[in-house]
């Protein structure tokens, strides 16, 4: 198969239309058989549930080329399960988990020419999503839904090394107790836009959100989970019902314990303790881990000993090990790598 003529190493994180996407419609209580389509636009009712009441959920994962030349994805079964949880919380029908994985596989196969080569640092980003498509004016769930998966090639997250970022403690909240913080819903992002735009205007890369009830505990950023390293090399990640369970973070915790022999703890993390940690990183599919060098808290600064020039040694080791597993250079735990072709 001939690859597309794309300058892989200079791709950013943006949308590029690819050849085919997967679509399945839900009507009269059932999902249709689903198909690949070349049509990249969608026509729906002006009163569709997604447009009026934001009934939409999504996932994000990557397909990439391993060292031995296979095209694979990483733990797509966990994306399927998480999307099922998101659907239930927003009163949407679940797209069956096996079919979710199958739809991802079909979308990647159909766009194999857009999967970047091994070593480029780039990948094919996959965006499964679902939305209420039928008209809704009284507040209730839609009756019809559409599930889609599109693919878009994205560049290496860190061009020329991963420089630590500076984040601020936000005065805005991301998620309410007993709310929707634990699901991957567009609505959580709509309300984070003002906070991220104002963070950028003030010179910060990201927001650190605290728990909105007591404002004493670390939650996450707008789109990544925290991972901290203690001075005696223990890995600590916040536990909360309003955090989105990152697949990257869960994988890194496993890697820390089983591959690196480090102690791991998932527990409440009070903001007061943060100053005592040695390293801090943000976990998500896009970057795997981005190092945090500094946290700004209303005039006070927390500067991690790892500094602003490079990531801390444990963060680096975690990142290398997980990316090594993903790229087929280190043996993966059973079931982590889904080989597509
Ligand atoms: C998607 C997402 C993450 C990262 O999850 P991964 O599965 O690791 O990509 C973290 N936080 C939020 C709010 C997210 O939406």
Residue by residue, pLDDT tens for the chain (341 residues) are 789 999 998 898 999 999 999 999 999 999 999 999 999 999 999 999 999 999 999 999 999 999 999 999 999 999 999 999 999 999 999 999 999 999 999 999 999 999 999 999 899 999 999 999 999 999 999 999 999 999 999 998 777 668 999 999 999 999 999 999 999 999 999 999 999 999 999 999 999 999 999 999 999 999 999 999 999 999 999 999 999 999 999 999 999 999 999 999 999 999 999 999 999 999 999 889 999 999 999 999 999 999 999 999 999 999 999 999 999 999 999 999 999 99
pLDDT of residue 331: 96
pLDDT of residue 1: 76
Domain shared by 120 and 195, yes or no: no
Domain shared by 137 and 169, yes or no: no
Nearest-atom number in ligand 1 for the CA of 283 is: 8
Residue of 125, 208, 284, 285 best suited for mutating to test ligand 1, as the one with most atoms within 8 Å of CB: 284
pLDDT of residue 160: 63
pLDDT of residue 112: 97
Domain shared by 184 and 295, yes or no: yes
Is residue 297 in some structural domain?
yes
The answer to whether 18 and 151 have CB atoms below 8 angstroms apart is yes
Nearest alpha carbon to residue 25 among 125, 117, 103? 103
Angle among Cα 101, 131, 190 to the nearest 5 degrees reads 110
pLDDT of residue 89: 98
Q: What is the mean pLDDT of the chain?
A: 96
Domain shared by 215 and 138, yes or no: no
Domain shared by 143 and 175, yes or no: no
**Ligand 1 centroid to residue 116 C-alpha, Å:** 23
Residues with CB under 6 A from ligand 1: 60, 184, 220, 223-225, 244, 246-249, 283-285
Is residue 51 in some structural domain?
yes
Last residue of a domain, one of 129, 154, 179: 154
Is residue 340 in some structural domain?
no
Calpha distance 304→167 (Å, rounded)? 12
Nearest residue (by CA) to ligand 1, atom 13, is 223
Domain shared by 144 and 207, yes or no: no
CATH number of the structural domain spanning residue 107? 3.30.470.10
Residue 320, CA distances (Å) to 11, 252, 326 in order:
22, 11, 10
CATH number of the structural domain spanning residue 310? 3.20.10.10
Domain shared by 110 and 251, yes or no: no
**Count of domains observed in the chain:** 2
Q: Which residue has the tokens 């934001």?
A: 54
Stated pTM of the model: 0.97
Domain shared by 70 and 206, yes or no: no
Domain shared by 97 and 185, yes or no: no
Angle among Cα 246, 237, 213 to the nearest 5 degrees reads 90
Give the domain extent around 82: 8-154
Last residue of a domain, one of 125, 154, 183: 154
The answer to whether 274 and 280 have CB atoms below 8 angstroms apart is yes
Is residue 260 in some structural domain?
yes
Determine how many CB atoms are found less than 10 A away from the CB of residue 19. Answer: 15
Is residue 53 in some structural domain?
yes
Last residue of a domain, one of 154, 177, 204: 154
**Ligand 1 centroid to residue 37 C-alpha, Å:** 28
Is residue 133 in some structural domain?
yes
Domain shared by 186 and 300, yes or no: yes
- SS3 (DSSP) at 65: strand
Domain shared by 173 and 92, yes or no: no
Nearest residue (by CA) to ligand 1, atom 14, is 223
Domain shared by 284 and 136, yes or no: no
Q: 21-70 pLDDT, tens per residue?
A: 999 999 999 999 999 999 999 999 999 999 999 999 999 999 999 999 99
Strand locations in the chain (E): 21-27, 30-31, 35-37, 56-58, 61-65, 71-74, 123-132, 145-154, 165-169, 206-208, 225-229, 235-238, 264-267, 279-284, 288-297, 300-303, 337-339
Which residues are part of the catalytic machinery? 184
Handedness of CA 296, 299, 304, 308 (dihedral sign): positive
Phi, psi of 234 (to 5 degrees): -95, 145
């Amino acid at each position: 198969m001939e690859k597309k003529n794309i300058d892989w190493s200079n791709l950013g994180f943006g949308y590029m239309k690819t050849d085919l996407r997967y679509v399945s419609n839900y009507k009269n209580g059932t999902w249709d058989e689903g198909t690949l389509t070349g049509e990249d636009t969608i026509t729906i009712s002006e009163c569709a549930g997604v447009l009026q009441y934001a009934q939409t959920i999504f996932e994000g994962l990557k397909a990439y080329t391993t060292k031995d030349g296979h095209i694979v994805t990483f733990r797509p079964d966990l994306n399927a399960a998480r999307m099922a949880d998101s659907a239930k919380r927003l009163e949407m029908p679940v797209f069956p988990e096996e079919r979710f994985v199958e739809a991802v596989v079909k979308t990647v196969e159909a766009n194999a020419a857009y999967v970047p080569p091994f070593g480029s640092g780039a990948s094919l980003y996959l965006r499964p999503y679902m939305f209420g498509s039928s008209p809704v004016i009284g507040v209730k769930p839609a009756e019809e839904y559409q599930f889609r998966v599109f693919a878009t090639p994205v560049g290496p997250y860190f061009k020329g090394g991963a420089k630590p970022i500076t984040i601020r403690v936000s005065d805005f909240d991301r998620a309410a107790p007993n709310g929707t913080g634990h699901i991957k819903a567009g609505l959580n992002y709509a309300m984070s836009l003002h906070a991220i735009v104002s963070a950028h205007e003030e010179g910060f890369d990201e927001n650190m959100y605290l728990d909105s009830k007591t404002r004493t505990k670390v939650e996450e950023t707008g789109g990544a989970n925290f991972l901290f390293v203690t001075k005696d090399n223990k890995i600590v990640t916040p536990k909360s019902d309003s955090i989105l369970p990152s697949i990257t973070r869960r994988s890194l915790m496993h890697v820390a314990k089983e591959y690196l022999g480090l102690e791991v703890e998932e527990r409440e993390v009070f903001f007061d303790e943060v100053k005592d940690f040695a390293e801090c990183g943000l976990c998500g599919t896009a970057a795997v881990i981005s190092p945090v060098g500094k946290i700004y808290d209303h005039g006070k600064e927390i500067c991690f000993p790892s500094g602003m020039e490079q990531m801390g040694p444990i963060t680096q080791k975690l990142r290398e090990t997980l990316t090594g597993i993903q790229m087929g250079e280190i043996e993966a735990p059973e079931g982590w790598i889904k080989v597509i072709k």
